[in-house]
Structure 1
Amino acid sequence: MKSSDKAHTQETFQTLKRLIVDERILRDPRPIFVLINPFGGTKSALTVWNARCQPIFQLAGVPYEVQTTTAKGSATTSARTIDYTKYRAMVTVSGDGLFHEVVEGLFDRPDWQEVATKLPLGYIGAGTSNGMSSNIGAHSPEIQSLNIIQNSIRSLDIISYTQNNKTRYSHLELLFGLLADLDIESEQYRWMGILRNYVGAIVRLLYLRSTGCKLWLLSPDGDKRTSNIPPVPSSVLSDHSQHGPRVTIEATTVWTEYIDEDITNVSAVNYPFIACDFMAGPRAKLSDGLLDVNICHSRNKSAYLSALLEGESGKYLHQKEFISRKCSAIVLEPGERRRWKSNDGRRGIVDVSGEEVDLAPILIQVHQGLARLCVPAWYDESMIEQAWKN
């Protein structure tokens, strides 16, 4: 190669580098900690990183350290023990399950407050559903990588969930009924990628279940919709033995609404999308301190067929079959399935951020703005609700 060609190549490289990253960011010599789950979803996360993300980090001159998970829960251990002072950010390359594990570990530390404020999180979707990709408005691994490099940070709500008096932490949602069954039972179709959700939905629509359920809802305005509300199960009251944000719900908490009916679905979501192509909470925000709760009692299959066809836009939630609330906390006490019980003997499924938890009463509380997440500077999340309303 001629010296003039080498000079031109070097100039082009430096120009691209300046477009990708601000020089001020390069002054931080600390690497980005990249956590990859090579076994999740379609098992493509390592390929996504090597082929589509790593070259961008190399071009930008941003150092990184890669660690792969070895088993379920190993990401929680990594997050619980990481020396956060050594890294400029912690990034997951997989789906929402890996991000859930990291949140759980970071907030189960005695120094969780320092970690939450000083270690930003990044998300590169390489799993099956990749709900957080849509929640940050960055749908490709390349855009997500650029977003992390450019270090545009926003506050992020997390949720605590308490069962059997023990509290843990997560980020995305609580599901019970149709969506929970679909999410967990479709694991058998994981090899199909995102299509697994559609196959699972068709099966569940053909054999639509109803389930007994009790709900306690806490509205931010404090206006009561129900009188004579019974006390919540004592097992959802935290014993405060864990690290992390304090759960403020007590036995004396005044709940604003109580529901005791058969339901076909309950979703309480912290952000709008629970999968990259399925919106379950169009009014949810990354850091508003509230859950978008949607409840359906109806066995009208056409309502759910609409949800399947209009899942990405969330337009199905305009139907009269769906009851919507904004809540700062919710307690769910699962009952028995009425029809089409599982062949595996399950009496029901409680789903927290894509992970099956105990079939037992559960408290979900939002903790506003405690985490920090890399989100594109240009992303306007208010457009989601505006598009849904129009």
Structure 2
Amino acid sequence: MEFIQHHNDLVGSYSAIVTLSGDGLLFDVINGFVYSLEQSTIIPKKIPVPISIIPGGSGNGLACSLNSIFSDDGQTMFNKLIESTLHTIKGQPTPMDLVRITTTTNQIYYSFLSFGWGLMADIDIESERLRFLGEPRFTIWSLYRSFALKRYRGRLSYLHKDSVCQDIQSINEPVSNEWTTINDEFILVYGAYQKYLSSVVKFAPDSQLDDETIYLLYIFGTVSSCQVIEFLLALEDGTHTKLPFVHFIPCKAFRLTPESNDDIMTIDGEQIPCSTIQAEIMPKAASILFRK
């Protein structure tokens, strides 16, 4: 992140920025551009250098989303690495949306994958102690947390994608009547903008790189452990969106105010301080190397 922030001529020095990593290192790369883009007067704001990723982490959500090889075709990790490397070598810069997330602590993040609060964020961060297992760490911790259920109280507001309202208020202003607001107890609130969160989590089946949509999912705190397990199993093929207790909303923006500041919040799998957050789409704010 510091390298990106302080480099004087990235555009003149590099034709692309490639990470061999999980999603976390790419999060650092993208957020290295926050200050320069926030100060930029050019509209629309856009990261000036194409990016690419070759999967080397536990989840690899963006790489999974880019590659159809992460479907049920039995291909090995070797094939996945080759496919992603070919995207980097032979791909062309392809527009990709980012999401701008602001907090009441005056922090700004750029996100390319997801925001989480509640069950799935807890699984992501708490399973770090099992990182040596690789991706299976998520499955093991999911089972544990399904039976040791926690509930989270907060206020969730969102602006549906089909709303005619174009105005998105700043985080310090009340949302307009066009927004839907819910005060309740939740098991989780999760927003994603890529198809996959990992090779076994098909979160937003209809997501495209530049469809200008946040796919917001929330589950109320009235569900049972069995229903939570049903939801987690359904994530593998994307059928969770059809479960009657799952609320899955395409939206332009959302705002979340947790009742407790001790909850876990994540952006692209990285933990951030818990506070009120607001997320909104930045259309085509990045370009990623991709061969069609």
1:311 aligned partner = 235
Match of 1:351 among 266, 269, 274: 266
Asked if residue 265 in structure 1 is aligned to residue 188 in structure 2, the reply is yes
Q: Which has the higher strand share?
A: 2
- Within a 5 Å distance, the mapping from 1:177-326 to structure 2 comes to 177-222=118-163, 236-237=171-172, 251=174, 253-297=176-220, 298-326=222-250
SS in 1 for 2:285: strand
Residue 117 of structure 1 and its aligned partner are, at CA, apart by 5.9
Structure 1 counterpart of 2:120, which letter?
L
d(CA) in 1 for partners of 2:175 and 2:95? 30
Considering only aligned residues, what root-mean-square deviation do their CA atoms show, in Å?
2.3
**Structure 1 residues 315-324 or 133-142, which shifts more?**
133-142
Contact in 1 for aligned 2:33/2:47 (Cα 8 Å): no
Q: What percentage of aligned pairs have identical amino acids?
A: 22
d(CA) in 1 for partners of 2:152 and 2:175? 28
1:93 aligned partner = 20
**Cα-to-partner distance string for 1:34-65 (whole Å, 9 max, x where unaligned):** xxxxxxxxxxxxxxxxxxxxxxxxxxxxxxxx
d(CA) in 1 for partners of 2:143 and 2:35? 38
Contact in 2 for aligned 1:210/1:299 (Cα 8 Å): no
d(CA) in 1 for partners of 2:274 and 2:268? 15
Asked if residue 327 in structure 1 is aligned to residue 275 in structure 2, the reply is no
Asked if residue 371 in structure 1 is aligned to residue 289 in structure 2, the reply is no
2:97 aligned partner = 157
SS in 2 for 1:179: helix
Contact in 2 for aligned 1:218/1:256 (Cα 8 Å): yes
Asked if residue 135 in structure 1 is aligned to residue 65 in structure 2, the reply is yes
1:125 aligned partner = 55
CA shift in 2, pair 1:350/1:117, >3 Å? closer
* Greater C-alpha Rg: 1
d(CA) in 1 for partners of 2:251 and 2:45? 27
**Cα-to-partner distance string for 1:300-332 (whole Å, 9 max, x where unaligned):** 222221233232211122110101111111100
* Paired residues, number: 272
Contact in 1 for aligned 2:231/2:243 (Cα 8 Å): no
Unaligned runs of 5+ in 1: 1-75, 225-231, 238-249, 337-345, 378-390
1:173 aligned partner = 114
d(CA) in 2 for partners of 1:136 and 1:211? 33
Contact in 1 for aligned 2:51/2:288 (Cα 8 Å): yes
d(CA) in 1 for partners of 2:123 and 2:228? 12
Contact in 1 for aligned 2:158/2:254 (Cα 8 Å): yes
d(CA) in 2 for partners of 1:357 and 1:269? 16
**Structure 1 residues 132-141 or 265-274, which shifts more?**
132-141
Asked if residue 103 in structure 1 is aligned to residue 30 in structure 2, the reply is yes
d(CA) in 2 for partners of 1:160 and 1:272? 18
Name which structure has the greater RCO, CA cutoff 8 Å, separation 6+: 2
**Cα-to-partner distance string for 1:231-259 (whole Å, 9 max, x where unaligned):** x9x8x34xxxxxxxxxxxx5565542001
- Within a 5 Å distance, the mapping from 1:53-64 to structure 2 comes to none
Structure 1 counterpart of 2:54, which letter?
I
d(CA) in 1 for partners of 2:91 and 2:6? 23
Contact in 2 for aligned 1:132/1:276 (Cα 8 Å): no
**TM-score when normalising by structure 1:** 0.65
**TM-score when normalising by structure 2:** 0.86
Structure 2 counterpart of 1:287, which letter?
D
d(CA) in 2 for partners of 1:217 and 1:252? 9
d(CA) in 1 for partners of 2:184 and 2:45? 42
